[in-house]
Structure 1
């Protein structure tokens, strides 16, 4: 009987996150990126689709731990973000903001978060990410390239990335998010996240069906016709 506290797959991912945070900070190579006290981060799924952006004024180690290793995160608790979906993490360290007094950091980080948010929208196939809260508009900032790291080890990638597993997981997340919405008064942003997740599920399910030789059909004026035919 195993005496480890965590399942092997979970421990492998945690180890990968820990290794990522030990990498040198591109802006301050003498320290690790995990020690950076201010910056912007973005999450990408298995298709390279951007799914979430955030800022931290307390350190990447703390913030990624909250989102990805089962610690407290509003986005996870509300079923906006499923950590299972995260394959790649991008980190923009902003040490000049980290050197500011803590009370000044958020306002200084806001335009950088908005800049990354605009880039993610441009790169997204859906022109949307899963953030529940609105990203405060601001001037677009000049930013260096981020540190980009994969947090899913090769040995578990085939199982985690299988489209049927992802479809089932995403459908479950949508169900929990919809249940959350149905039981309380929620923000417009939470409903927006639900719309984005349903679009993402539809696209993934369609791709899987097509890959297996299917053809989506729609009801046209002359009966049921393949979707890709002229109506």
Structure 2
């Protein structure tokens, strides 16, 4: 007779709960541009995501509030970037947000046009500091005059006790390969933008760099051990 553990199946896995709590805590940080409100309450601004290497992977803008937009991307709610396999929330280790309350105070219909040059400014900063000279955005960031930015609020959303498993290169390689496969399948089944194909190129470059780095790191470790220190791994998982 099978043994049934006494589990509350209505609860999310503890890892998911911990990450969602970290996201909630990040959104509760006071907005440095308007300290009486939290950053999650800020109506307008720019945000960026970074992976476990500190590599920038995505930039966006919100005219409806960071709490709404970041929730869509990071907690499994509706997000075009996630739905199209442009962005894998699993890869997001840290976020930066730039609150722009003077734009948040504008009528909603005017906010996007006002945000565009700020998004372009952040985008230029990110690609300059990217090892690949690119982020994963499908859409082109419309060019505009560079703007003076306030200091961002920077938050890590992966708790320290989860970080080793999430950031392990073999886990990331498998996850990224799966994302690329799904993205390629999406591209093969419909007419898509050139930007989505550019994202595929960037993702394959990122996968190659990660896999190559892992290979050379393990090869160097084997060479350091010498022939007598090499232990053959059994076939299969166990």
Question: Could you tell me the TM-score, scaled by structure 1's length?
Answer: 0.92
Query: Could you report, residue by residue, the CA deviation over 1:12-68 in whole angstroms, capped at 9, with x for unpaired residues?
Result: 100000000000001011110000000000000000000000000000000000000
Whether 1:42 aligns to 2:37 is no
Give the structure with higher Rg (CA). 2
Alignment-derived partner of residue 182 in structure 1 = 188
C-alpha separation in 1, matches of 2:55 and 2:124: 14
Aligned residue for 2:136, secondary structure, equals: coil
Structure 2 unaligned blocks of 5 or more? 1-5, 221-238
Whether 1:209 aligns to 2:228 is no
Alignment-derived partner of residue 131 in structure 1 = 137
Aligned residue for 1:148, secondary structure, equals: strand
Alignment-derived partner of residue 152 in structure 2 = 146
C-alpha separation in 1, matches of 2:119 and 2:108: 17
Aligned residues: 215
Alignment of structure 1 residues 23-42 onto 2, 5 Å = 23-42=29-48
Alignment-derived partner of residue 230 in structure 2 = none
- Alignment partner for residue 2 of structure 1, among 3, 7, 28? 7
Aligned-residue offset at 1:128:
0.3
Whether 1:88 aligns to 2:79 is no
More strand by share: 1
Alignment-derived partner of residue 232 in structure 2 = none
Aligned-residue offset at 1:2:
2.8
Alignment-derived partner of residue 217 in structure 1 = none
Aligned-residue offset at 1:189:
0.4
Aligned-residue offset at 1:145:
1.4
- Alignment partner for residue 201 of structure 2, among 195, 198, 207? 195
Structure 1 unaligned blocks of 5 or more? 215-231
Whether 1:18 aligns to 2:24 is yes
Aligned-residue offset at 1:5:
2.5
Query: Could you report, residue by residue, the CA deviation over 1:52-93 in whole angstroms, capped at 9, with x for unpaired residues?
Result: 000000000000000000000000000000000000000000
Alignment-derived partner of residue 173 in structure 1 = 179
Alignment-derived partner of residue 126 in structure 2 = 120
